[in-house]
C-alpha cells in the first residue's frame, strides 16, 4: 500500500504542533519518523493513521484521500495496551470475526511467530514487558495489515529485549512485505531498521531532511556507515549526545 501525506498541519489550542508535512512512502518500505521530544512525531502518526482527523492537509492511501482508520492498517504503540481480563490468545483474537475455533487458530499462529507458543492461556499480568509487547505485535499482525504504524514500540523495553524485537520486526517485514512507518526518537533504532528517514525538527515540527539509508541488509549495528549517518543526524539535530 502506498501512502502520501500532503501539507499536513495540526494545532492544539492555537499552538501549532506540526506544519506543512509532506512525504510519501512506497509499498514494502520501512520509513522512520525521527526527531527530538515534542517535535510532533506522535501527532503526525495519529493524523496519518486516522485516529485524529482534526488536521489540515490530506492523507492518501493508494491515491485515495483517507480520513478514517482504514482496516488495512495495523498499530503498535509504546505500551502494549492489552485487556487484563482476557488471556493472551483472547487478546490477539479479540478483533477478529468468524468462528471462535478459527479465530483462536489464527491467533495461535501469530503467537507462535512472535515466540509465545505455550503462553496462550496466560493473562497479561503474568507477562514481562517484552512478552506483552510481543502479544501486541501478534495482535497487530493477526488482521494481516498491509501497512503497520508503530509509535515508539520498543522504547519502554530493556536494551536486549529491544534488539530482539527489532530483529523480529525485520523478520516479519521480510516474510509479509508489510510497509512500515515507525516513529522513534532512537537514532540507532532508526538507522538499523529503516530504508528512509523523515527527520522532524522544531516546534512546530517541520521536515528538516529526508535521508535515504543506503546500507544493505542484514545490517550490522556497529557498521561504520551507520555510525557516519548517526553523526550526520546528531549534527543536524544539533545534539552531541543521543536523542532522548
Ligand atoms: N492533546 C494535546 N493537547 C495539547 N497539546 C498537545 C497534545 N498532544 C500534543 N501536544 C503538543 O504538540 C506538540 C507535539 O507533541 P507530540 O507528542 O506529537 O511530540 P513527539 O515528537 O511525539 O514527542 P515525544 O517524543 O516526547 O513523544 C508538543 O508541543 C505537545 O505539547
In this structure, is the dihedral angle defined by the CA atoms of residues 13, 74, 145 and 84, taken in order, positive or negative? negative
Q: How far is the CA of 190 from the centre of ligand 1 (A)?
A: 20
Q: List for the chain the helix, strand, coil content (%; round to 5).
A: 35, 25, 40
pTM: 0.93
Q: Name the residue of 38, 153, 198, 205 whose CB sits within 8 Å of the most ligand 1 atoms, as the mutation to test its pocket.
A: 38
Phi, psi of 128 (to 5 degrees): -75, 170
- Complex prediction ipTM: 0.97
pLDDT at 238: 84
Q: What is the pLDDT along the chain (244 residues), one digit of tens a residue?
A: 899 999 999 999 999 999 999 999 999 999 999 998 999 999 999 999 999 999 999 999 999 999 999 999 999 999 999 999 999 999 999 989 999 999 999 999 999 999 999 999 999 999 999 999 999 999 999 999 999 999 999 999 899 989 999 999 999 999 989 999 999 999 999 999 999 999 999 999 999 999 999 999 999 999 999 999 999 999 998 875 544 5
As a three-state string, the secondary structure of 70-101 is CCCEEEECCCCCCCCCCCHHHHHHCCCCCCHH
Task: Say if CB 107 and CB 93 are below 8 A apart.
Answer: yes
10, 41, 53: residue to mutate for ligand 1 pocket, most atoms within 8 A of CB: 41
> What is the model's pLDDT at position 95?
85
Query: What is the Å distance from ligand 1's center to 109 Cα?
Result: 36
SS3 110: helix
Q: Give residue 240's pLDDT.
A: 56
Backbone angles phi, psi at 144, to 5 degrees: 50, 55
Query: How many angstroms separate the Cα of 152 from the Cα of each of 83, 100, 156, 214?
Result: 20, 32, 8, 23
Amino acid at each position: 500500500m502506498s501512502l502520501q501525506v500532503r501539507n499536513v498541519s495540526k494545532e492544539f489550542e492555537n499552538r501549532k504542533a506540526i506544519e506543512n508535512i509532506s512525504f510519501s512512502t512506497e509499498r514494502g518500505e520501512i520509513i522512520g519518523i525521527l526527531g527530538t521530544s515534542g517535535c510532533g512525531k506522535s501527532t503526525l502518526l495519529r493524523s496519518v493513521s486516522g485516529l485524529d482527523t482534526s488536521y489540515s492537509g490530506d492523507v492518501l492511501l493508494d491515491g485515495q484521500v483517507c480520513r478514517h482508520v482504514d482496516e488495512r492498517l495495523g498499530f503498535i504503540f509504546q505500551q502494549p495496551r492489552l485487556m487484563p481480563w482476557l488471556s493472551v490468545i483472547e487478546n490477539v483474537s479479540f478483533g477478529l470475526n468468524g468462528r471462535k475455533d478459527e479465530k483462536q487458530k489464527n491467533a495461535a499462529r501469530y503467537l507462535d511467530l512472535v515466540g509465545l507458543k505455550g503462553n496462550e492461556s496466560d493473562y497479561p499480568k503474568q507477562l514481562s514487558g517484552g512478552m506483552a509487547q510481543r502479544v501486541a505485535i501478534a495482535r497487530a499482525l493477526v488482521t494481516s495489515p498491509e501497512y503497520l504504524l508503530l509509535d515508539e514500540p520498543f522504547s519502554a523495553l530493556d536494551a536486549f529485549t529491544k534488539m530482539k524485537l527489532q530483529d523480529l520486526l525485520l523478520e516479519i517485514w521480510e516474510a509479509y512485505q508489510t510497509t512500515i512507518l515507525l516513529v522513534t526518537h532512537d537514532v540507532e533504532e532508526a538507522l538499523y531498521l529503516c530504508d528512509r528517514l523523515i527527520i522532524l525538527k522544531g516546534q512546530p515540527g517541520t521536515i528538516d531532511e529526508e535521508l535515504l539509508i543506503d546500507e544493505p541488509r542484514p545490517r550490522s549495528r556497529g557498521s561504520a556507515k551507520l555510525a557516519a549517518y548517526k553523526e550526520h543526524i546528531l549534527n543536524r539535530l544539533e545534539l552531541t549526545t543521543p536523542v532522548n
